[in-house]
Chain A
Amino acid sequence: MALEEMDKRRLSGVDIIGRKKGLLVTPDLCIGCRGCQTACKEWNKLPGEGTVNRGTYENPPDLTPNLYNRIRFVETSTPDGLRWLFVSQRCMHCTDAGCIRVCPSPGALFRTPEGAVAFNKARCIGCKFCVAGCPFNIPRYDENDRISKCHLCSDRIANGLSPACAKTCPTGAISYGDRVDLIREARTSGYKAVYGEADLGGLGVLFAFREAPSFYGMPDKPSFSPTIGLWKGILKPLTIIGLAGAVAAAATHYVTVGPKEIDEGGDE
């Protein structure tokens, strides 16, 4: 259906996948310094928040409206002993982004020319549908019920700078560049499967994992709920077809079978 097609073309990132910018996260290189958390707050002018000691170095415990990026400290015991993994958690800038698909307010979530999924609080109507649409549980809400999340430093990358988190990372665990180059780099460094290369049309944030994604606490096959596919893929086009079909059927009936005229003469 034309309307659905137009929406899809405008929303999807498929046409930009070739020139899409992205980040490559390499947990092997991460030293858990959390410079990226701080640099992100600094650039985006996000206030610090008080937390309590939970008996782990991981802090804060979850993303918040004022925390777009966080290092998860994953402790896993393996036959070779304990493994301590540092994994960045933030918006993945999905090519087929569930959040954009479900958002009812055009422009509240949008794709930048570099392929990032950015947001405009002024257009967000606070419905929170995007939370349910996101396979990674990323969007958070500020005190006015407006969306807030990592936007790949869309303001910086539009001006040729690299995102604050990547720029500050001292080890290269977060690196920024053309998505295709990042994938090639990871391959050259010996990572066979790059997480996010093909998932959801290709994630903007790629991970160089040595083990299965679940080992790092990531979904092996990230996907959004099938009801979103049914809703946007089937019900949405069917609604406009049904509406047009019903109007056409009524018009056709009128000019073929015709109305039920009343023979008024017989009654008076």
Chain B
Amino acid sequence: MKKDLVQKTTGFERFNHLVLAASFSILFLTGLGFLYHTLSWINTMFFGVHNAKVIHEWAGVVFSISLILTFGNYLGESLRFSREDSAWISSLGGYFSRTAEPPPQGKLNAGQKIFYLLIVVGGGLAISLSGYMLWLFPSSRGNILFGHFLHNIAVLLFAVTVPLHIYLGTAANPGTFRVMTRGTVTRAWAKKHHGKWARDLGID
């Protein structure tokens, strides 16, 4: 590692994020093809609707396993709320002004913690559980009706937040994308975005 770079994520963390993102993309695309008949050509590209169903099911298995594996990386940190987190929320992360700067943040900021807990864990568990219900127990009427409903509430959550997650991890914050590709960030990036974490690492 170059001297001026700081390690933010482990190799396993990045690999698992890639698996989660890839399975998510496959699920989202095939899911849109099932939900909107106007978009059924998507499933034609996934080798026809019969194969798309099988792909959707098994990508779901990969997604749910990958989801569980993220717990070790983020759950503990996300559940620890402190004063910087409330300050981050009241300044809206500094995203709605060119001048406002939230106070120095730990390894994850409040926005990341909320996204992780509500969307990734909450939405992820809801969509996985309902997916298994629909797949494995289709003979129960209540199962299908409730499972569908839950599945689609989670889809709505993802549809609204995942584009923002991608934007925040790329264009909105230059230097951030490499957290999930290379695992390292510049010292300046660490100080700007996660000042408290940088200080704990001894970066002045």
Contacts and interface: CB of A to CB of B under 8 A. Distances in A.
Contacts of B172: 250, 253-254, 259-260
B195 to A, nearest CB: 12
Contacts of B174: 259-262
Interface in B101-129: none
Contact of A250 (B134, B146, B163): B163
**Chain A facing B: main interface SS:** helix
Given A127-B53, A127-B138, A264-B188, A250 B167 contact: yes
A3 B97 contact: no
B79 interface: no
Interface residues on A, range: 35 or more
A267 B195 CA distance: 13
A123 interface: yes
Interface in B31-45: 34-40
Interface stretch (B14-22, B65-73, B150-158): B150-158
B36 A3 contact: yes
A180 interface: no
Interface in A240-254: 240, 242-243, 245-247, 249-250, 253-254
A76 interface: no
Interface residues on B, range: 35 or more
A116 B189 CA distance: 64
A243 B187 contact: no
B139 interface: yes
A7 B148 contact: no
A11 interface: yes
Given A3-B38, A131-B141, A262-B192, A242 B4 contact: no
Interface of B: 4, 34-40, 49-50, 53, 94-98, 134, 138-139, 141, 143-146, 148-149, 152-153, 155-156, 159-164, 166-167, 171-175, 186-189, 191-193
25 contacts: A3-B36, A4-B36, A7-B38, A106-B37, A106-B49, A128-B138, A128-B139, A131-B139, A131-B141, A132-B141, A132-B144, A132-B148, A228-B145, A228-B148, A231-B148, A231-B152, A235-B149, A240-B36, A250-B166, A253-B95, A260-B94, A263-B192, A264-B188, A266-B188, A267-B188
The 4 closest A-B pairs by CB, nearest first: A132-B144, A250-B167, A104-B34, A267-B188
